[in-house]
Structure 1
Amino acid sequence: MGPPPAAAWVIVPGEPRCGGGDWAVGVWWPWFRSAVRAALAILVVMVLVAITLNPRRADFAWFLQLRRPPWLTFEPLIPLIWLLIYGCFFVSAWLVWTASGRWDLMAGYLLLLVLVQSYTLVICRSRRLASGTAVGFIGWVWGIALTIAVARVSEVGWLLLVPYLLWSPVGTFVTWQMQRLNR
């Protein structure tokens, strides 16, 4: 559900007004409140998944001591790259929800988020890099499927999933290289 057409903007007595103008009342104001609620709900779910699927310090310490390929000079940038990708997930999910209100697509975003976030957790808990490679590949395939589904609903929404589709194979390749170095 997008913003209403101009003809649908009516002044409703007692409705709050934004910026003192009458343009934001009637149908527009409830849409705006709904969009803000959706954004907050998506953000809360993302934060809860990230907190829940974070590895323990001891497990992550094991992961940090593993050898990395010598060409991996951009490792300090990886957290920033993932922060950007998560931001793209957030905006994409919000755009898709406000455009369609489809719960099946939101479930698709949730599954993608769980797969992405569980990558490091699975590696750290199993202490097997091959497990992370598999989770990374599954997440990438699911990301492609979700992108195709989202493309039918929101052009910008699917474009915001492209950074993940480009970065995920890099992470999977790095993990595969780390397997060879840490046998």
Structure 2
Amino acid sequence: MIKSWMVIGGVAFVVALAANIIAPSDIKWFNRLQRPRWLVIEKAIPVIWTVIFICAAWSAVIVWEKEPGIQETWLRMGLYLLLEIVTISYTPVMCKLRSLKVGTIIGGTGAILSVLLALSVLQVSQPAALLLLPYILWSPIGTYTTWAMMHLNAADV
């Protein structure tokens, strides 16, 4: 029998693979951008996001296990999926369009969606909502960083 954590983890993993669809020229564009001086943990960002996605997937499993198969749970699973798609789209879309403004908008959208999801999930499970806290706390930091980069790279807005 396939467990819910396998399905949720599998879907999250497949969606996350889309982040790798970036042309080398787009990566070069992003790498040449100026960063704020205070951004000293850039190399840790992939690890941070991995932890955040694991927490979000774990949260989704808890929600599914509490009320499996009902309409409200399916809607919440859709919101989890939407949040991951928005988050994963940040790098490839921003780099393809070469627009830090677009990246800031995507980041802000993810931040808002994460709060809405947590409020919805809180009705089902407090631990599941708490597992979304890393996203809620980190997403505005990433969005602010992109916004700050926008001002350092005026030609790449």
- Give, as a single letter, the amino acid of the residue that structure 2 aligns with 1:84: V
Q: Which residue is equivalent to 1:44?
A: 10
Partner secondary structure for residue 20 of structure 2: coil
The 1:171/1:92 distance shift into structure 2, 3 A limit, reads same
Partners in 2 of 1:65 and 1:40 — Cα distance? 39
Q: Which residue is equivalent to 1:168?
A: 139
Partners in 2 of 1:137 and 1:173 — Cα distance? 9
CA RMSD of aligned residues (A): 1.2
Aligned match for 1:93, one of 56, 60, 66:
60
Per-residue deviation, 1:121: 1.4
Point out 4+ residue stretches in structure 1 off by more than 3 angstroms.
Answer: none
1:1-183 to structure 2, matched below 5 A, reads 33=1, 37-58=3-24, 59-101=26-68, 102-183=73-154
Paired residues, number: 149
TM-score (norm 1): 0.78
Partners in 2 of 1:179 and 1:38 — Cα distance? 41
Please list every run of 5 or more consecutive structure 2 residues that lacks an aligned counterpart in the other structure. none
Structure 1 residues 18-58: Cα deviation after superposition (integer angstroms, max 9, x where no partner): xxxxxxxxxxxxxxx5xx62111111111111112433241
- Give, as a single letter, the amino acid of the residue that structure 2 aligns with 1:89: A
Partners in 1 of 2:3 and 2:142 — Cα distance? 33
Which of the two has higher C-alpha Rg?
1
Partners in 2 of 1:81 and 1:95 — Cα distance? 21
Please list every run of 5 or more consecutive structure 1 residues that lacks an aligned counterpart in the other structure. 1-32
Per-residue deviation, 1:112: 0.5
TM-score (norm 2): 0.90
For the 8 Å contact 1:54–1:118, the answer to whether it is kept is no
For the 8 Å contact 1:54–1:117, the answer to whether it is kept is no
Per-residue deviation, 1:61: 2.6
